[in-house]
Amino acid sequence: MVPIIIIASILFGLSVVARQPDHVSILMPAPFADSTVDLVKSFNQQHHGRIHLNVIRGPLETEAISDLAISSLLLGDTPFDGLLMDVTWVPKYAKAGWLESLDNYFSNNEVSALASGASEGNHYQGSLLRWPLTADIGLLYWRTDLMDQPPRTPQELERISQKLQSSGRVPYGYVWQGRQYEGLSCVFLEVIDGFGGEWFSAESGQIGLDKPAGLAAAQWLDGLIQRGVSPRAVTNFSESEALQSFKSGQAAFMRNWPYAWAELQKNDSQVKNKIAITTMVAQTGHQPAATLGSWGLSLLRGSAHPESTVEAFKFLTSEESQRYLYSQYGYTPTQKAIFNDQDLLKKHPSLQSIGEALAYARSRPETPVYAQVSDVLQRKLSGTLTGMTSPTAGMQQAEQSTIQVLEAAGAAP
């Protein structure tokens, strides 16, 4: 009797082991984890018994989630299978050897179905390392109750602002992100490109800060504060402060990401139904630029279930999921087809402007030492905006420090 029980229980145990689903875990920043709860639920229903997806709710801030991911990756075996990554992390994580290539999991057709802009920033040195969940781009928000047409050039933006300010219709013209942090680099990238320059090219190693366009960009941003178009406090503004200021009707223009749209259309907003979006201003003869800030899913090296993880990626980024995430949470879709969806366009007219702006998406420099390069720019630009240095001196120092950083890291081409 006893041996039979033992054998039976061993067999039962084995069958339980055999039926164990693959446990896949993905680390995401808190807002993304919250908005994908329903998607994860339906994924787990559809894959019941085969794959169990568990999204780990990380911290709220971009840098905090990177710190958390890096701390665990440094210790060796990754506790996660997938990571939702900001676009600027890709080269660094790739170079550190933490990412698994996705080339074998996504076909060329799937890649070419991505909207232009959304397809950028997913590759490093030719291999696909990240699959985009949402595209994010810098936009210029403007007030339809104060003007008929948005400005197209930096000079126009200033002129309109000053006119509106002197007639007392708004206390400030333009609010943006001037705090010493990553947002400042995003703002600067759009302005320097709009003046026809380039911040830093990872391929050629060219730095464009101490060049006419770089100087013009720094001078323009500094001038906005000097001439009162932007409040002095902009030197400590991140996205949320700019949004609050614009939302309470304090400014005619704001630079922000697509998420701000939904916030501005809430009932407590002073500018509800009085806003529109367009691309950032650019000097005549130059194309406007929209900083790409997309989030995407990466497979971490050492994952025990790469196939199942990619299956979860495909589910979370499917057309249907993107439609859901856009209409529920305003996440910018990454697939071309969705921008042509007439039903969706009718319900959300702003989708068209976002689609148009996406065509002007520009990546920040794609280098493993991006964090250093951006840090140098933020410090020097913050020094200029707070009156510590002149724009010219600030950009000269920024260019010098960038060269030093690249040399010290051994990343100078």
What region, left, alpha or beta, does residue 123 occupy, with left being phi > 0 and alpha being psi -120 to 50 degrees?
beta
Give the amino acid at 329.
Answer: Y
Instruction: Candidates 21, 31, 223, 383: give the one binding another protein (CB under 8 A).
Output: 383
411 binds another protein (CB under 8 A): yes
CA-derived radius of gyration, the chain:
24
Residue 275 φ/ψ, nearest 5 degrees: -130, 155
CB 374 within 8 A of CB 364: yes
Which residue, 371, 344, 318, 410, is CA-closest to 91? 371
In the complex, least distance from residue 217 CB atom to another protein, rounded to whole angstroms: 18
Residue 103 φ/ψ, nearest 5 degrees: -55, -40
- Region of 131-139, 293-301, 321-329, 377-385 interacting with another protein (CB under 8 A): 377-385
Q: Which is nearer to another protein, 117 or 173 (CB)?
A: 173
Q: Which is nearer to another protein, 49 or 76 (CB)?
A: 76
- Region of 88-96, 207-215, 309-317, 335-343 interacting with another protein (CB under 8 A): 88-96
284 binds another protein (CB under 8 A): no
Instruction: Candidates 38, 67, 77, 103: give the one binding another protein (CB under 8 A).
Output: 67
- Region of 115-123, 159-167, 283-291, 372-380 interacting with another protein (CB under 8 A): 372-380
Q: Which is nearer to another protein, 276 or 411 (CB)?
A: 411
In the complex, least distance from residue 124 CB atom to another protein, rounded to whole angstroms: 12
Angle between helix axes 391-409 and 212-226 (nearest 10 degrees) is 130
C-alpha of 201 from chain center: 19
344 binds another protein (CB under 8 A): no
Element at 296 (helix H, strand E): strand 295-299
Q: How many residues bind another protein (CB under 8 A)?
A: 39
88 binds another protein (CB under 8 A): no
Q: Which two tokens stand for residue 219?
A: 């001078």
71 binds another protein (CB under 8 A): yes
Q: Which is nearer to another protein, 326 or 370 (CB)?
A: 370
From CA 288, how far away is CA 45, in angstroms rounded?
45
Query: 376 CB contacts (<8 Å, ≥6 apart)?
Result: 398, 401, 402, 405
Buried b (16+ CB within 10 A) or exposed e, 366-377: bbbbbbbbbbbb
Q: According to CB under 8 A, which residues from 89 to 118 bind another protein?
A: 92, 95-97
**DSSP symbol at 47:** T
Q: According to CB under 8 A, which residues from 195 to 254 bind another protein?
A: 231-236, 241, 244-245
From CA 19, how far away is CA 138, in angstroms rounded?
47
Query: What residues pair up with 298 in beta bridges, in sequence order?
Result: 83
Longest dimension (CA), the chain: 96
In the complex, least distance from residue 95 CB atom to another protein, rounded to whole angstroms: 5
Instruction: Candidates 3, 76, 126, 410: give the one binding another protein (CB under 8 A).
Output: 410
Q: According to CB under 8 A, which residues from 142 to 201 bind another protein?
A: 178-181
- Region of 70-78, 116-124, 269-277, 337-345 interacting with another protein (CB under 8 A): 70-78
Question: Site residues (CB under 8 A) for another protein?
Answer: 63, 66-67, 70-71, 74, 92, 95-97, 178-181, 231-236, 241, 244-245, 368-369, 371-372, 375, 378-379, 382-383, 385-386, 388, 408-411
